[in-house]
Amino acid sequence: MPLLWRDQLSVGNNVIDEDHKYLIEVINQVEKSLAAKNRSELAKDLDSLTQYSLLHFEREERIAKAVGYAQVEHLNQSHANLMKNLDEVRGAFDAAGQEWSPETVGHFTKFLREWLIDHVIKEDLLMKPLMQKYSPAFDPR
């Protein structure tokens, strides 16, 4: 079953929320490639996930700083850890070779879901009270 956006995941900022929605789409595409055992599509999808995550984290950190979020340094570190974890799991998956056991696929799928949803719930939603002081369209670019 694909991941679905829920309003409970909203931090109250359109830029961040739209990024999160897109990241859910990319993770769903990764899962499709995994299920199809399509290594070339999986590689493209993981590249997309990595590149978009970096872009999103940069935007999210800029917005957090602009609204005066006191835990910006913690957020930066959390993002760095998320990227490190993604690289490590991706490396382990690549090392699994051509045969992907159901356990490997299940572990990777669970990791990706938790990687995004847990971060949004445990980290990003802490910014929501500050975001509510600004327009949902706030973008300090």
- pLDDT tens-digit map of 55-97: 999 999 999 999 999 999 999 999 999 999 888 888 877 777 7
pLDDT of residue 89: 80
pLDDT of residue 76: 94
13-131 folds as Four Helix Bundle (Hemerythrin (Met), subunit A) (1.20.120)
Tokens of 35: 């299920």
> What end-to-end distance do the CA atoms of the chain give, in Å?
36
Higher pLDDT, 100 or 108: 108
pLDDT tens-digit profile of 120-139?
A: 999 999 999 999 999 999 99
* Residue that the structure tokens 């999160």 belong to: 20
pLDDT of residue 58: 96
Q: What are the sequence ranges of the domains in the chain?
A: 13-131
